[in-house]
Structure 1
Amino acid sequence: MLVLLPPSEGKTVPTRGKRLDLDALSFAALTGVRRRIADALVELASSDPAKAADVLGLGPTQSEAIERDAALWTQPTARADTIYTGVLYGALDLPSLDPAARRRATRTLVFASGLFGLLRPGDRIPAYRLSGDTTLPGLGTLASQWRDVLGGVVAEQVGSGLLVDLRSGAYTALWKPAAPLRDRTATVRVLHEVSGRRSVVSHFNKATKGRIVRALLAEGAAPRTVAGLAEVLRDLGWHVEVDGRRLDVVVTEV
C-alpha cells in the first residue's frame, strides 16, 4: 500500500540545516523536472518580486515567502515531514507514533509537491511557496511539467498493491492514475453530517484524512483492494460508504 498525501500551503521554516541537494532526494527520475521548476521559481522570485507575488497568489504581508523562494538553493533544509504543517499533518502527528508505525510511515507515505513532484518523509527540503495550480513564466502549468513523469514513478512504488490517493484538487491535476493502476487506486471523500444533511467541509476533510492515515500506520494495516480498505476503516470505527473507487467517510464531529 502506498498513501499519497498533499503538501501544506503553510510550512515550518528551518533555521539551520544543509542546503537543498536535489540528487539526495528520493525518486531520482524526477531530478530533471525538479531542477527546471526550481530554477524557474528562483528566477521569478529574485528578478521580479511583484510579479512573483501575483503568480504565487501572495499578499503584501507574505514578502518573506518570496524571499525564501528567491534563495531556494541556499536556504536550510529539514525533513519533509517536519516542513509540512496544518490540519492534516497535525491530526496525523507523525512524531508521536511508536517506532514501528514511524517505520511504516517511511515505507508507506509519499507527499505530492508542485516543486518536487513526490517526496518521502525523510527527504530534506527548504520551506517554499509554490501551489500545485501555479503557472510559471516560461514553463507553463506545473501539471504540464509533471504529467508525463509521475505516473511511472508512482506505479513502480505501488507495485501490485493499493494506492490510497488523498491529494487535494490542485495536486490531483498534476497527474491522474491510468489503467491498470487506476483500478487499484482508492480516493477518500469526507462528508460532515448534521441533522441528516451532508456537506464537504475543508477542516473536517483534512483532519479526518490525517486521523485515517495515522490509524492505518498504527494498526499496521496494508489492504490490497479498495473494498479491503473500506473494511479496515470500518473495523477502526469509521462509517464508510463505497462508491466505485471512492470511499465516503461520514463524520458528525471533527
Structure 2
Amino acid sequence: MLVLLPPSEGKAASGRGAPLEPESLSLPGLAAARAAVLDELVELCAGDEDKAREVLGLSEGLRGEVAKNAGLRTAGARPAGEIYTGVLYDALGLASLDAAARERAARSLLVFSGLWGAVRVTDRIPSYRCSMGVRLPGLGPLGTYWRAPMASVLPEAAGDGLVLDLRSAAYAAAWKPKGEVAGRTATVRVLHAPTRKVVSHFNKATKGRMVRALLTAGVAPEDPAELAGALRDLGYEVEVRAPGRAGQAWALDVLVTEVH
C-alpha cells in the first residue's frame, strides 16, 4: 500500500542536524526537478525580500520564512516525519508508533511537496516554505511543473498495490493516477454523517487517525474494496463508490458524527 499525504503548511524547526543531502532523498528520478526548484527558490529568497514574500503568498508576520528559504542548503535537516506538523500529522503521531508500525510508515507513506515533489517520512529535509500553489518566476505554477517528473516516477513507486490518496486538491494536481493504477487508487472524503457535508478541520484529524490505525493494525489491503473492509473492521463507517468508468479512482466516504 502506498499512502499519498499532503504536507503541512506549518513545519517544525530544522534543528542543528547535518544539512540537506539531495542525493540521499527517495525517488531519485525527481532529483533534477528538485534541484531546479531549490535553485529557483533559494535565488528568489536571497534577493528582494518583498518580491519573495509576494511570490510565496506570505503575510508580513511570516517575513522570516524568506530568510529561512534563502538558507536551505546549509540549514539542518531532519526526517520529514518530524518536520511536518499540523492536525493530520499530530493525529498520525509517527513518533509514538511502535517499531513495526514505524517500519510500515517508512515504506508506505509518501508526502507531496511544492519543493521536493514527494518524499518519504524518513527522508532528511530542512524546514521550508513553498506550497504547491506557488508560481515561481522561472518555473511557473509548481502544480503544473511537477506533472511530468511525477508521471515518470510515481507509477513505479506505486508498484502493483493499493494507492490511498489523501492529498488536498493543490497537491493532487501534481500527479493523477492513470490507467490501471487509477483502478486500484482510493480517494477519501470525511463527511458529517447527519448532514452529509464535507468537514474541514476534523477531515485532517480523521485521515491522520485512519492512517495510524492501518499502520498499527498491520493490515495490507490490496485494493479499494479490501481497504473499505479493513476500515470497517477498525471501527470506521465507510461508504464506497466504484469508478464510473475505466481510469477513474474509487471514492470512499468516511462518516463521522462529531465535528471538532
| Aligned residue identity for 2:38 | A
8 A Cα contact 1:188 1:246, kept in partner? yes
- TM-score norm. by structure 1 comes to 0.97
Structure 1 residues 35-88: Cα deviation after superposition (integer angstroms, max 9, x where no partner) = 000111111111111111111111111111111011111111111000000000
CA offsets 1:1-43 (integer angstroms, 9 cap, x no match): 1111110000001220111111111111101000000111111
Q: Is the Cα–Cα contact under 8 Å of residues 13 and 83 in structure 1 kept in the other structure?
A: yes
Contact 1:192 1:204 in 2 (8 A): no
2:252 maps to 1:247: yes
Unaligned runs of 5+ in 1: none
Is the partner of 2:63 in helix, strand or coil? helix
The equivalent residue for 2:167 is 167
Task: Report what 2:245 is aligned to.
Answer: none
Please give the alpha-carbon distance, in whole angstroms, between the structure 1 residues aligned to 2:174 and 2:114.
8
1-side partners of 2:93 and 2:198: how far apart?
A: 23
| SS of equivalent residue, structure 2 residue 88 | helix
Query: Which residue identity is paired with 1:219?
Result: A
Q: Are the counterparts in 1 of residues 144 and 173 from structure 2 also a CA contact under 8 Å?
A: no
* TM-superposed deviation, 1:105: 0.7
After the TM superposition, list the runs of 4 or more consecutive aligned residues in structure 1 that deviate by more than 3 angstroms.
Answer: none
Give the TM-score taking structure 2 as reference length: 0.94
Summarize deviations over 1:196-234 as a string: whole Å, max 9, x none.
Answer: 312222211100000010000001111111111011101
Q: Which residue of 2 aligns with 1:18?
A: 18
Q: Name whichever of 150-159 and 127-136 sits farther off.
A: 150-159
Q: Distance in 1 between matches of 2:43 and 2:212?
A: 38
2:108 equivalent to 1:108: yes
Count of matched residue positions in the alignment of Structure 1 and Structure 2? 252
Q: Deviations over 1:133-170 (max 9, x none)?
A: 11100110112321012133221122110100111111
Q: Pairwise CA RMSD of aligned residues?
A: 1.0
Q: Give me the whole-angstrom Cα distance separating, in 2, the residues matched to 1:20 and 1:125.
A: 6
Cross-structure match for 1:209: 207
* Structure 2 gap ranges (5+): 243-249
Percent of aligned pairs sharing the same letter: 54
| Structure-to-structure mapping, 1:8-47, within 5 angstroms | 8-47=8-47
CA distance in 2, matches of 1:121, 1:28: 15
